[in-house]
Each structure stands twice: as C-alpha cells, then as structure tokens.
Amino acid sequence: MSTAVEANVEVLPNEPEANKLFRMVMKYKGSDLHLKVGVAPSMRLAGVLRQMQLPQLTTADMERLMYPLLSPRQRGILDEEGGVDFAHIIYDGENETRFRVNLFKQRGRLSLVARRVNNKIPSFEDLHLPQVLADITQYDQGIIILAGVTGSGKSTTIASMLQYMNERERLHIVTVEDPIEYTFKDDKSIINQREVGIDVIDWDTALKHAVRQDPDVILVGEMRDRETFSAAMHAAETGHLVFGTIHAGSAPSTIGRLLDLFPRDMHSSLRQSLAFNLKAIIAQKLLPTTKELAAKGTTRVPTNEIMRINPTVRKLILTEEDTKLGDAIRIGKDEGMMDFTESLRQLVVNEKVERAVAFEVAPSPESLKMALKGITIAQPGIL
C-alpha cells in the first residue's frame, strides 16, 4: 500500500458524517472509495489503492456511517439480500457529484465500494473508444448490447453513445436505471431518466411504461433475467432502439449468455429474434495505460470487441454456428468490426497500453504476437 493520504476534509452542516469520506475522494480526484471493518478508509488514486490517515473502521463505525445513507427500501434489500446498490449524491451549490455505491455484508459486517461518476459525460475521444460506435448509434430500431464484467466501463460507454445522439438528433430517450449513474442535460433530444425504487417501483413496471412514453431510444440497463431481456426484445420489435448491458466475456459468447436465460425449447425462436433484432454487440475490458498516458490523466483505456449483425453473422446465429462468430468478426473489419486481438494490437501500436499488459489479457497471445509483426492469419470459409 502506498503512502497514506492526509484526511483534511470537513463535512458541511446538516450533511451525513460519511460525506467526509466521499469528499476526500472528490478532493484528490480518486475513482473509488473502499470501506471495510478493521481497515482504514481507502481510495483508489491513479489505479492504486491508498489508505487515508484515519483510524481503522469498527463495526459500530460502519453502521453509524452507512445506515443514514439508506432509504427504508434499500435497508430492506441489504438485510434480505446481503447487498444493495444505490446512488449517493454530494451537493455543492448548484453542482453535484454522484457516486455509484455497493454496500454489502462480508463475514457478517458491512463493507462499501463506491465509484465516483463524473458529472461530465465523456466523448468517444475522451474514452479512447473506436469511432465506429458513432455509426452504431444510427440504427432506427433493434438492440445494442454492451458486454463485460462488472467495472469494465459498460455504463460509461453507453452514456457516451447516448450523449452523442443527444447532441445530434431530435429524439426522446428514456432510461431505466438502478441506480442512475450519469445525469444527462437535454440538448437536441429530450431525455427522461427513471431510477428504480425512487421514480418507479420495479423494472417490469418501468419497462411496460417506457414503450408507452413515445420513446425513440430506451436504455434498459442490465439484462439480468429472462423478463428484462424479453421486455427489451419486445421494445425492439415494436420499433425502438434499445441499449442494454450483460455480463459476458466476449461478443460471440454473449449469444450463449442470452440463450442461457431461457429453457432449451425456446432457443430456436430466440435465435430468430436475435438474428433480426440484434444490431451490434460491443464487448469491453478496461486496461491500465502506459506511464506516459497516465501522467496526462488517463489511467485506463478500453479494449473492445465489436460484432455487427451483417448477413454472415445473422446466418451463423440462425444455424447455431456460434463457434464461427469470431471468424466473422475478423473478416468484417470493413464494416467496423474488430476482435480483441486487433483492438489490443492498435492499443500497443498507438502506445496506449504496454505490450506486457496486452499479452496478459489477450485471448490468444500467439495471435497478438503475429498481429504485432504484421502477419495476417488467413480466414477459413464460414459460409
């Protein structure tokens, strides 16, 4: 652990005591706050956890600090499920700083991890995202899925895509979130954001309402179960552009992950729906940057795998040949597709990540090695 960070921030009158810790993260421009019984409060600075110059937290400390932040509904979820997600907002006059919080129990005691969410919604350039994402936002209807593990930046990438549309098109965008992570300001579009538990009772009700609210675009957040995905598919089939996220490691494996939400006897009809309503899958991982880029303020960049649904991909989905989807991505580069190997190659060549980091996360280190040497592997016939 690095040198401790001096704790010299005071809370404002009438605000929760816990805000001192959140304001510490704001002062030092940290990305995350970590609280655990038996350990001093910590924050992540430039990708590294650093402790604050404060005493170790006790069980009583955590309960005193955390419980005032929870609504009765959130307290109920914590007690019943052992963890709860919520947004915590710090106000400074007319400005606000939002934290995405996960409060959970471990070994019977409370722990917290909170991610500071920037007020400014970053652009594709700010995030070092491929420009093909701008083309993907131009669909009139269908489903666009962001895949990745927790903390891979899926929500930030979707926010950037929605903001790109907000700045250029006259649309009605409806988001259903739990919690709201970025707050949008209407530009050319009108954006209505609904937070589950505050603005609407549950996901099902929110999604039923959404299709009746004359939306052009709907963000359904995480497609964590059959009901949410079915509602998203229904919205796409009725002429809306739907954005959603899912936990999956790659673009091709996302198809299997979606099928796993349903019993086997429904897979054939689901493949039909996916083939004709899915527009793109964007899989993402976050990597630490080179020291030079980190010194300029960018500590992490995404590596992306992008699969667009062209006739080849559509046929492979329909014929259950998911193992060939990776090949379809590699031969679809003229349509803006790329696999993780090509994305990593570009990040190394452009000096955004170190070679060692790229090889550590590469699906096939040997393929990446060849790609960096300029050797292209011949693609097999997949039709």
**Domain CATH code at residue 75:** 3.30.450.90
Within this chain, do residues 106 and 228 fall inside the same structural domain, yes or no? no
Looking at the fold, whether 73 and 141 belong to one and the same domain comes out as no
pLDDT at 233 over 90: yes
Tell me, yes or no, whether 220 and 264 share the same domain: yes
Query: Region 280-303: what's the mean pLDDT?
Result: 94
* pLDDT at position 1: 42
**DSSP H or E run through 219:** strand 217-222
Express each pLDDT in 16-31 by its tens digit: 999 999 999 999 989 8
Q: Which pLDDT does position 2 carry in this prediction?
A: 46
Does any domain span residue 268? Answer: yes
One domain for residues 325 and 222: yes
Q: How confident is the model at residue 207 (pLDDT cuts 50, 70, 90)?
A: confident
Q: Is the same domain home to 75 and 48?
A: yes
| Residue 367, number of CB atoms within 10 A of its CB | 19
Do 218 and 241 form a contact (C-beta atoms < 8 A)?
A: yes
Helix (H) / strand (E) containing 77: helix 72-81
Are 134 and 221 in a shared domain? yes
Residue 7 lies in a domain: no
For β-strands 190-195 and 172-177, DSSP reports them as parallel
Among residues 117, 144, 179, the one where a domain terminates is 117
Instruction: Determine the pLDDT at residue 161.
Output: 98
**Among the three residues 90, 117, 144, which one is the final residue of a domain in this structure?**
117
Higher pLDDT, 202 or 219: 219
pLDDT score at 376:
72
Task: State the total domains in the chain.
Answer: 2
CATH at residue 186:
3.40.50.300
Do residues 92 and 174 both lie within one domain?
no
Tell me the pairing of strands 83-92 and 95-106: antiparallel
pLDDT at 43: 95
pLDDT at 382: 58
Q: Give yes or no: residues 101 and 160 share one domain.
A: no
Residue that is last in its domain, among 93, 117, 141: 117
Q: Are residues 265 and 363 in the same domain?
A: yes
- Both 199 and 156 in one domain: the answer is yes
Per-residue pLDDT, 5: 74
pTM: 0.81
CB-CB contact of 111 with 104 (8 Å): yes
Share of residues in the chain with pLDDT > 70 (%): 95
Residue 383 pLDDT > 60: no
Residue-wise pLDDT for 311-356, tens only, equals 999 999 999 999 999 999 999 999 999 999 999 999 999 999 999 9
Residue 13 pLDDT more than 80?
no
pLDDT > 90: percent of the chain: 76
- Report if residue 339 sits inside a domain: yes
Residue scoring higher pLDDT (51 or 383): 51
Of the listed ranges 80-89, 197-206, 241-250, the one predicted with least confidence: 197-206
Residue 94: which residues within 8 A CB-CB, separation 6 or more?
none
Q: What is the pLDDT of residues 137-192, one digit of tens each?
A: 999 999 999 999 988 999 999 999 999 999 999 999 999 988 787 889 999 999 99
φ, ψ of residue 50 in degrees (nearest 5): -135, 135
pLDDT band at 102 (very low <50, low <70, confident <90, very high): very high
Residue 378 has pLDDT above 80, yes or no: no
Is 331 within a domain? yes
Both 209 and 272 in one domain: the answer is: yes
Q: pLDDT at position 106, please?
A: 94
Q: What is the pLDDT of residue 380?
A: 58
Decide if pLDDT at 81 tops 80.
yes
- Is a pLDDT exceeding 50 seen at residue 120? yes
Statement to judge: residues 103 and 143 lie in one domain: no
Pairing state between β 241-246 and 109-117: unpaired
Cα–Cα dist 56/40, whole Å: 4
CB-based contacts of 6, cutoff 8 Å, min separation 6: 52, 53
Residue 4 domain flag:
no
Identify the pLDDT of residue 10. Answer: 65
Owning domain of residue 214 = 124-372
The answer to whether position 32 is within a domain reads: yes
In a domain, 97, yes or no: yes
Within a domain: 377: no
Mean pLDDT of the chain: 92
